[in-house]
Amino acid sequence: MVGDVMIGRARASLGLSGAPVKVSQITVAYQPGVPTLQDLSLSVAAGESVALLGPSGCGKTTLLRAIAGLERPAGGEILIGDTPVYRHGAAASKKWVGPESRNVGMVFQDGGLFPHLTVAQNISFGVVGRFRRRNSVDHEVVNELLRLVDLEGYGHRLPGTLSGGQQQRVALARALAPRPQVLLLDEPFSALDTTLRAQVRSEVAHILREIGVTVIFVTHDQDEAFVLGDRVAVMEHGRITQIGTPDQLYRSPRNLAVGAFVGEANILGARIVDGLAETVLGPIPILAPIDGDRADILVRPEALHMHAGEGAVIEYVEYYGHDTRYDLRLPDGTIVIVRDAHDVPRSVGETVGVKFVGSPVMAWPAD
């Protein structure tokens, strides 16, 4: 992995810096009366990395494209730095800045490299106003960017001779070549296999955190969002449901839907008695009082502990090395997930006891 000293040198040499992004009440509709984004607002600080997390069709990529200037909203305002790049209003106040003038870089799912150009030519193509002939290359910028993404010496190669992870790092270098203040990434690791994806996203996260550019990226993968995002915005039906740090979203989700989306969760019905949730697992403390005496609570798998005993039957086992995931069937038929780091493996069909051992949990009034 490229070192911090080299990243710092590249940042200084290339003049990389970030600008704040402010999206205010934008609406995008591909069909009349069916908005893909609806009065959506988002503020991203200069140099911050924000992940847009949500299921397919929730509007993540549309928001990214609106910021890039690839979609024209039907209302609202978008600012990059202090400059409005889109504003909908009276004729005198309307504003539209084309994508080529927004000082924004973008990395797509497949990288989008030109297969007939070398790595160096691909990167130099991203330098606005400098690539005029097929063999025109800004060697100083290209070499600095190749060092930044740990591909020094690869400039003469064609994209087809590189691995998927290397191609995505070239795409990142090309997006950074024009020295953008904002970098947009649309599911940049989705085409990679699982092992390579984890490796490449860690490398890219390290680079992005050090170069100072503002980053907004789209993903449907919670692990990816938590690794790359200083904050994560959970989206659903064209709106941001909740935005916060990964820890805030995991420990204090706004509702059950967010809690279930940002990590494995057991959702249990409960009766509230004296500040405790009475559940099929016994009494569980809750973080705050709620209205009514019926609740749904969210219990993370790591907050449950298996022990020798009775009361649950192991129905399914997934071994991960550092821990094991178990599906347990309780006497009333409820299935709960347990993540356990026991040295002694347990088997499907085995009878065990299970108890709650975590901190107070989130609770919401039952529907």
DSSP string, 265-306: -EEEEEEEETTEEEETTEEEEBSS--SSSEEEEEE-GGGEEE
Question: Do residues 48 and 230 make contact, with C-beta atoms less than 8 angstroms apart?
Answer: yes
DSSP string, 232-270: EEEEETTEEEEEE-HHHHHHS-SSHHHHHHTS--EEEEE
Q: Is 170 helix (H, G, I), strand (E, B) or coil?
A: helix
> Could you report the per-residue pLDDT of 52-92, keeping only the tens digit for each?
999 988 999 999 999 999 999 999 999 999 999 999 876 66
Average of per-residue pLDDT across 167-185: 92
Question: Do residues 14 and 194 make contact, with C-beta atoms less than 8 angstroms apart?
Answer: no
Residue type (1 letter), 353: G
Q: Is the pLDDT of residue 215 over 90?
A: yes
Mean pLDDT of the chain: 89
Question: Do residues 256 and 244 make contact, with C-beta atoms less than 8 angstroms apart?
Answer: no
> Could you report the per-residue pLDDT of 94-147, keeping only the tens digit for each?
899 999 899 999 998 777 889 999 999 999 886 755 444 545 567 788 989 999
> Could you report the per-residue pLDDT of 243-281, keeping only the tens digit for each?
999 999 999 999 999 999 999 999 999 999 988 999 999
**Count of C-beta atoms within a 10 Å radius of residue 92:** 5
User: What are the residues whose beta carbons fall under 8 Å from the beta carbon of 247, sequence distance 6 or more?
Assistant: none
Give me the residues paired with residue 87 across strands.
Answer: 77, 95
Of all residues in the chain, the percent with pLDDT exceeding 90 is 64
| Confidence band for 199, pLDDT divided at 50, 70 and 90 | confident
Q: Catalogue all structural domains in the chain, each as residue range(s) with its CATH number.
A: 4-251 (3.40.50.300), 266-365 (2.40.50.140)
| Confidence band for 301, pLDDT divided at 50, 70 and 90 | very high
C-alpha 135/C-alpha 139 separation (Å) is 11
